[in-house]
């Protein structure tokens, strides 16, 4: 029996296939090209290559964000629908947690993040504990400077992992200083096999109930909620 | 004996998550629509990001319901048809990717369907087509006149150059502070009003089947604004009646002209605005006189649904058209 792992939540498109907990195939691109167009052909091609039929899948693991709203939905629509059709479980894992797995031998804190534009980032803080990647803080959507000042107070080395590392490198070095560790480029792009790793031991949710991890309200909704609040305050 | 064809249809181009199963392109086996209207009401219109979020939450729920209602299994399904465009790109993407996942998981043919072709084929769930036929599609997103000489072939005679008819309805309704969606509200008010204001009609060039409603919309807004400044009170009913008269006049006249020019055997009306009572009776009157059968589907088939996509997909399936795994959402898909 095999497991399919999918990630379209950010620029990288990743697909991996596991067989009896062994990775037998992996596909990753890191280019700004249409996920909607390319995801299914990538899955089809890889499954053909490793000789796995859709019916022999036993589980699907998908990166559920944060990231590009559209990208996250492409992955989830595909994973949920395929799992439903095959009547197999689907597991959604945080895209930040997936990235954190790429630093799993680091002894300090691991800080994966994605640029969220206008100075904001989606970020998490993780650490290796009892052989597992565990969350230190809840994932946040905050200004990078706020994130870094918070981290500057921690008395630990911090490994920064992000496909957008270059945008924020200077800020990290100036605010966190010598305790910031920034690895080479290969560690900043989520590999699909790490999605599988991150989701392997998680309990599947109900397929219908699996929703994206946006970490942010839709703009219209945030505005509307603010208006409601103002109305209430003004009686 | 020819085997029956069962097509699964998926539609997510705007604010309805819909899945249906249709037999032989004519018979609805199941037709599930999860409307998001309650969610969008608070914003006074459809918010694309919110619509896309609802689609991804609803898609497998709606799929399951469509199969439960149909009491069918996957073995009976011959192909999967999905709206590929036009529509809101983020919304379309959910349906397209779900359809691709199904086609791959169940190893079934995949067929991308044009949303307007779907609206036209909603009529075939009620009456068999006779060619040539003329279709008038009016909704919040479209105003189109399409000529068909055979199944699966569409000739676009005219379309709106700015606002869709339904869009003009919604904007005028907002000016009159009517609740969303405004179209049915205007239709209701118009019934008790009188045509007291002569709003403009955009006929465009001689012989053109294109439409334009933005001038009319501005004229309504100016009229209300000017009256307010003069301290005059216009009745909402009269504004609604006068506005509606102008829209219907243009829609009806152009449809009648096209029907005559191409000597069509049937005229089909589709899209949400087809539910408009004023439009229905004006068209009925005209086409009764001309003795051309006028077909308008019931309301639940006029508005967006997936049975219409399955119906249009059936013809494409029978004609051997297939889409590959590279099928993508296309917000401005052209009709062919
Ligand atoms: Zn429509």
Instruction: Encode pLDDT of A135-158 as tens digits.
Output: 999 999 999 999 999 999 888 999
d(CA A58, CA A42): 19
- A residues 180..219 contacting B (CB < 8 A): 207-208, 211-212, 214, 218-219
Q: What is the pTM of this model?
A: 0.94
Mode of pairing for the β-strands spanning A57-63 and A90-93: parallel
Query: What's the pLDDT band for A223 if we cut at 50, 70, 90?
Result: very high
Complex ipTM:
0.95
Contact list, B105 vs chain A (CB under 8 Å): 54, 81-82, 85-86
Residues present in chain B in total: 336
> What mean pLDDT do residues B228-234 have?
89
Burial class (CB in 10 A: 0-12, 13-18, 19+), A147: buried
State the DSSP code for B4.
P
Contact list, A211 vs chain B (CB under 8 Å): 56-57
Name the phi and psi angles at A176, rounded to 5. -105, -25
Tokens in use for A189?
A: 């792009």
Ligand 1: centre distance to CA B73 (Å): 28
**Which of B47, B95, B326 shows the shortest C-beta gap to A41?**
B326
Query: What's the pLDDT band for A235 if we cut at 50, 70, 90?
Result: low
Query: What's the pLDDT band for B141 if we cut at 50, 70, 90?
Result: confident
What does the pLDDT read at residue A73?
98
CB B115 within 8 A of CB B13: yes
Write down the mean pLDDT value for chain A: 95
State the DSSP code for B206.
T
pLDDT score of B133 more than 80: yes
Tokens in use for A70?
A: 């559209």
CB B241 within 8 A of CB B276: no
CB B251 within 8 A of CB B158: no
Among A126, A113, A93, CA closest to A196: A93
What does the pLDDT read at residue A154?
87
* Closest CA in chain A for residue B45: A220
**How large is the greatest C-alpha to C-alpha distance in chain A, in angstroms?**
65
Write down the mean pLDDT value for chain B: 94
**Within 13 Å and on the Cβ side, how many CA atoms surround A189?**
14
Tens digit of each residue's pLDDT (9 = 90 or more) over B79-100: 999 999 999 999 999 999 999 9
pLDDT score of A187 more than 90: yes
Run of H or E including B108: none
Residue B66 to residues B19, B60, B91: CA-CA distances in angstroms?
Answer: 6, 10, 20
- A residues 129..168 contacting B (CB < 8 A): none
Who surrounds ion ligand 1 at CB < 5 A?
A: B 139, 304
Residues present in chain A in total: 235
State the DSSP code for B328.
-
Q: Which residue has the tokens 């000739």?
A: B155
Ligand 1: centre distance to CA A203 (Å): 40
Residue A69 touches partner B, C-beta closer than 8 Å: yes
pLDDT score of A48 more than 60: yes
pLDDT score of B143 more than 70: yes
What does the pLDDT read at residue B2?
67
CA A23 to centroid of chain Cα atoms? 19
pLDDT score of A105 more than 60: yes
């Amino acid at each position: 029996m095999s497991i399919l792992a999918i990630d379209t939540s950010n620029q990288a498109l990743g697909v991996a296939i596991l067989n009896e907990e062994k990775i037998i195939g992996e596909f990753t691109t890191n280019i700004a090209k249409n996920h909607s167009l390319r995801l299914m052909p990538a899955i089809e091609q890889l499954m053909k290559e490793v000789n796995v039929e859709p019916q022999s899948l036993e589980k699907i693991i998908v990166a559920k964000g944060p990231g590009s709203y559209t990208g996250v939905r492409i992955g989830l629509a595909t994973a949920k629908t395929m799992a439903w059709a095959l009547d197999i479980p689907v597991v959604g894992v945080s895209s930040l947690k997936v990235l954190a797995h790429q630093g799993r031998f680091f002894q300090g804190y691991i800080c994966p993040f994605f640029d969220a534009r206008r100075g904001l980032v989606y970020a998490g803080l993780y650490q290796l504990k009892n052989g597992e990647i565990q969350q230190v803080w809840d994932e946040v959507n905050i200004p990078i400077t706020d994130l870094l000042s918070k981290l500057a107070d921690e008395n630990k080395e911090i490994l920064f992992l992000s496909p957008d590392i270059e945008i924020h490198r200077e800020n990290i070095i100036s605010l966190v200083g010598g305790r910031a560790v920034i690895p080479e480029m290969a560690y900043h792009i989520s590999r699909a096999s790490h999605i599988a790793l991150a989701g392997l031991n998680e309990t599947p949710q109900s397929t219908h109930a699996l929703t994206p991890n946006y970490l942010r309200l839709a703009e219209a909704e945030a505005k509307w909620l603010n208006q409601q609040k103002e109305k209430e305050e003004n009686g | 004996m020819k085997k029956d064809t069962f097509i699964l249809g998926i539609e997510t181009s705007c604010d309805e998550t819909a899945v249906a199963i249709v037999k032989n392109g004519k018979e609805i086996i199941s037709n599930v629509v999860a409307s998001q209207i309650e969610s969008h009401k608070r914003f006074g219109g459809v918010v694309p990001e919110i619509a896309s979020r609802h689609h991804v939450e609803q898609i497998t729920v709606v799929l399951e319901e469509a199969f439960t209602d149909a009491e069918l299994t996957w073995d009976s399904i011959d192909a999967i048809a999905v709206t590929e465009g036009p529509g809101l790109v983020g919304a379309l993407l959910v349906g397209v990717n779900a359809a691709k996942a199904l086609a791959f998981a169940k190893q079934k043919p995949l067929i991308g369907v044009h949303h307007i072709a779907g609206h036209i084929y909603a009529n075939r769930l009620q009456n068999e087509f006779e060619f040539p036929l003329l279709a008038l599609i009016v909704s919040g997103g479209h105003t189109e006149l399409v000529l068909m000489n055979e199944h699966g072939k569409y000739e676009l005679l005219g379309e709106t150059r700015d606002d869709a008819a339904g869009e003009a309805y919604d904007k005028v309704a907002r000016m009159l502070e009517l609740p969303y969606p405004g179209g049915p509200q205007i239709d209701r008010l118009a019934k008790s009003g009188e045509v007291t204001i002569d709003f403009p009609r955009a006929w465009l060039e001689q012989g053109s089947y294109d439409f334009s409603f933005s001038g009319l919309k501005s004229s309504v807004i100016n009229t209300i604004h000017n009256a307010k400044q003069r301290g005059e009170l216009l009745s909402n009913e009269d504004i609604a009646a006068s506005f509606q008269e102008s829209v219907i006049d243009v829609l009806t006249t152009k449809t009648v002209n096209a029907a005559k020019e191409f000597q069509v055997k049937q005229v089909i009306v589709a899209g949400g605005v087809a539910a408009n009572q004023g439009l229905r009776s004006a068209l009925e009157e005209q086409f009764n006189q001309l003795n051309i059968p006028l077909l308008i589907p019931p309301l639940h088939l006029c508005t967006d649904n997936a049975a219409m996509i399955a119906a249009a997909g059936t013809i494409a399936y029978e004609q051997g058209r297939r889409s590959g795994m590279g099928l993508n959402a296309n917000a401005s898909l052209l009709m062919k």
